[in-house]
């Protein structure tokens, strides 16, 4: 669906769109997008975006979040991999790992887990990232012999 066959104009247009998961919505599965995403509902699965992710104060994410920038005001149980700036709002409740370049924590935010800062997070891949990972693993196995 998000293959590398897209031309630059199509990719730029997709990045301009916004995605909203409204309060009262439950999604059981993974979400991938080139554009920004806002979640006010519940997601059981991973979110991966090349743009900004916002988890509103009524949001619940049981899974991992990979994004360029993120603002979290809800509950997250999983791993956060943010390549630039992560903001934990005062109502945020995080249980898991944080990997980010910069972190802002407002008074009242709750975080239980580990945090690694300043490290550059690997490139965010959309679409065929699992196939890419398998190819990398295959190459590593070939080098072992």
Domain residue extents for the chain: 8-144
pLDDT for the residue 140: 40
Whether residue 9 has pLDDT greater than 70? no
Report d(CA 12, CA 15) in Å as an integer: 5
Task: Give per-residue pLDDT as tens, 83-132.
Answer: 999 999 999 999 999 999 999 999 999 999 999 988 665 677 777 655 44
Report d(CA 122, CA 72) in Å as an integer: 21
DSSP 80: E
What mean pLDDT comes out for the span 49-55?
95
């Amino acid at each position: 669906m998000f293959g590398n066959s897209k031309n630059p104009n199509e990719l730029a247009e997709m990045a301009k769109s916004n995605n909203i998961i409204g309060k009262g919505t439950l999604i059981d599965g993974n979400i991938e997008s080139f554009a920004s995403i806002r979640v006010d509902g519940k997601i059981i699965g991973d979110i991966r975006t090349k743009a900004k992710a916002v988890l509103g104060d009524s949001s619940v994410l049981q899974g991992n979040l990979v994004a360029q920038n993120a603002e979290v005001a809800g509950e997250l149980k999983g791993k956060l991999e943010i390549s630039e700036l992560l903001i934990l709002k005062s109502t945020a409740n995080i249980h898991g790992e944080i990997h980010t370049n910069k972190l802002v924590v407002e008074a009242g935010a709750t975080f239980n887990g580990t945090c690694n800062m300043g490290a550059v997070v690997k490139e965010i891949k959309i679409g065929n990232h699992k196939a890419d990972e398998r190819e990398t693993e295959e190459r590593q196995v070939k080098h072992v012999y």
